[in-house]
């Protein structure tokens, strides 16, 4: 009997179909990548770079910068002694130059000046009267002399004696009148001196040639206040700077120094403070500019740089090149293969960003700074 048997091809096809379905389902479960990631970047080897400095020969200086403040050699603050009087005028402004004896301000003096003028006139009148009296007395005396001579020549001794008595009396009368005139003149002169003194006190006069550094603001009809500063004058022909505090001990009278003021440097000399109303000491020193500088401000400051220690003609390297470890100083250098190596050195004086090299390096050698 013939039996029908299903062929193997049919079974294989079914198995293949199932496998493909499963594969499709599994693919659907994988994440989707938008783009392919780039390959890793391969960098080339980078060599390290250094900053170098040469071993040099020169000077190493240690210095200190000291501040100082300006003060005029002389300064006068002018004030009226009399209060309650109208200030009639202030003739100067801050910054003006004045000469010695120049009137810089004054109080009302109209009435005083009138009294002075009247007094001067009265004195002149009394002096004129006294002069006239002297002339008349001289004339009278000569007249009597002639009469006496004539009487004597005529042999009239009694008349001559009488004339002598009259002459003496006239002379005494003239002298008495002269004394009155002289007394009046003296009294008037005393009054005039007093009035002139009052007038002078109502004027402020520059005691020396200098610069006006301060002026009191005033208006018409302002009344004076006794002792209140009106004008300040400074003598800037000599400029003095003061160093105060511990730094003053660096200076000795006679030292030559340099003062820097607003980036300009001036030669100066340390002077005795007693010459300017002060006293030099370990806590205050006075320094006078060697030249006249007219435009220094009252509150100006300066600086003096002093060398406190130094080494000359020595080998040195920048301080940034020197390192220390275990109590030893060393520098970095590059060998023939450009590899950084350590070289120990002996160092000395250090100041101003420089280090003295006593041994271990030669002039011109290159050391690593950074």
Q: How confident is the model at residue 20, as a pLDDT?
A: 52
Q: How confident is the model at residue 180, as a pLDDT?
A: 96
Instruction: Write out the DSSP string of 95-131.
Output: T-EE-TT-EEEEE--HHHHHHHHHHHHHHHHHHHHHH
Q: How confident is the model at residue 218, as a pLDDT?
A: 67
Q: How confident is the model at residue 174, as a pLDDT?
A: 95
Q: Quick check: 12 pLDDT over 70?
A: no
> Residue 274 in contact with residue 45, Cβ under 8 Å?
no
> Residue 306 in contact with residue 250, Cβ under 8 Å?
yes
Q: How confident is the model at residue 1, as a pLDDT?
A: 34
* DSSP symbol at 277: T
Give the predicted TM-score (pTM) of the model. Answer: 0.51
- Confidence band (pLDDT; 50, 70, 90) for 276? confident
Q: What are phi and psi of 26, to 5 degrees?
A: -70, -35
Q: How confident is the model at residue 192, as a pLDDT?
A: 96
Q: How confident is the model at residue 211, as a pLDDT?
A: 85
Instruction: Give the separation between CA 306 and CA 215, rounded to whole angstroms.
Output: 38
Copy the structure tokens of residue 44.
Answer: 């080339």
Instruction: Give the separation between CA 144 and CA 161, rounded to whole angstroms.
Output: 11
- Confidence band (pLDDT; 50, 70, 90) for 102? very high
Instruction: Give the separation between CA 323 and CA 305, rounded to whole angstroms.
Output: 29
- Residues with Cβ within 8 Å of 181's Cβ and at least 6 positions away in sequence, in order, are 126, 127, 129, 130, 133
Q: How confident is the model at residue 302, as a pLDDT?
A: 94
- Confidence band (pLDDT; 50, 70, 90) for 277? confident
pLDDT digits (tens, 9 = 90+) for 152-193: 999 999 999 999 999 999 999 999 999 999 999 999 999 999
Domain residue extents for the chain = 52-62+310-368, 109-201
Q: What is the mean pLDDT of the chain?
A: 86
Copy the structure tokens of residue 350.
Answer: 């250090």
CATH fold of 52-62+310-368, please? 2.40.420
């Amino acid at each position: 009997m013939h039996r029908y048997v299903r062929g193997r091809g049919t079974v294989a096809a079914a198995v293949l179909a199932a496998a493909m379905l499963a594969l499709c389902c599994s693919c659907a479960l994988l994440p989707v990548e938008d783009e392919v990631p780039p390959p890793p970047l391969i960098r080339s080897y980078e060599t390290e770079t250094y900053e170098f400095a040469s071993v040099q020969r020169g000077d190493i200086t240690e210095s200190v910068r000291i501040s100082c403040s300006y003060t005029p050699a002389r300064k006068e603050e002018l004030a009226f002694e009399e209060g309650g009087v109208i200030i009639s005028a202030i003739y100067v402004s801050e910054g003006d130059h004045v000469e010695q004896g120049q009137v810089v301000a004054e109080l009302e003096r109209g009435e005083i000046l009138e009294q002075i003028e009247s007094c001067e006139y009265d004195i002149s009148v009394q002096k004129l009267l006294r002069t006239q009296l002297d002339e008349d007395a001289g004339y009278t005396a000569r007249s009597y002399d002639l009469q006496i001579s004539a009487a004597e020549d005529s042999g009239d001794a009694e008349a001559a004696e009488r004339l002598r008595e009259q002459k003496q009396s006239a002379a005494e009368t003239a002298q008495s009148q002269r004394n009155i005139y002289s007394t009046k003149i003296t009294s008037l002169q005393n009054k005039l001196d007093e009035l002139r003194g009052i007038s002078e006190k109502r004027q402020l006069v520059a005691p020396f040639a200098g610069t006006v550094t301060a002026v009191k603001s005033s208006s018409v009809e302002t009344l004076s206040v006794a002792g209140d500063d009106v004008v300040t004058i400074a003598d800037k022909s000599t400029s003095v700077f003061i160093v105060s505090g511990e730094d003053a001990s660096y200076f000795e009278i006679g030292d030559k120094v340099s003062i820097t003021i607003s980036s300009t440097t001036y030669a100066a000399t340390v002077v005795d403070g007693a010459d300017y109303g002060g006293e030099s000491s370990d806590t205050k020193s006075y320094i006078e500019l060697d030249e006249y500088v007219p435009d220094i401000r009252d509150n100006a400051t300066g600086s003096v740089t002093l060398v406190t220690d130094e080494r000359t003609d020595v080998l040195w390297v920048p301080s940034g090149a020197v390192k220390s470890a275990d109590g030893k100083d060393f520098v970095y250098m590059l060998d023939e293969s450009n590899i950084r190596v350590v070289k120990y050195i002996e160092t000395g004086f250090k100041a101003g960003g420089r280090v003295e090299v006593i041994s271990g390096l030669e002039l011109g050698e290159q050391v690593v700074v950074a």
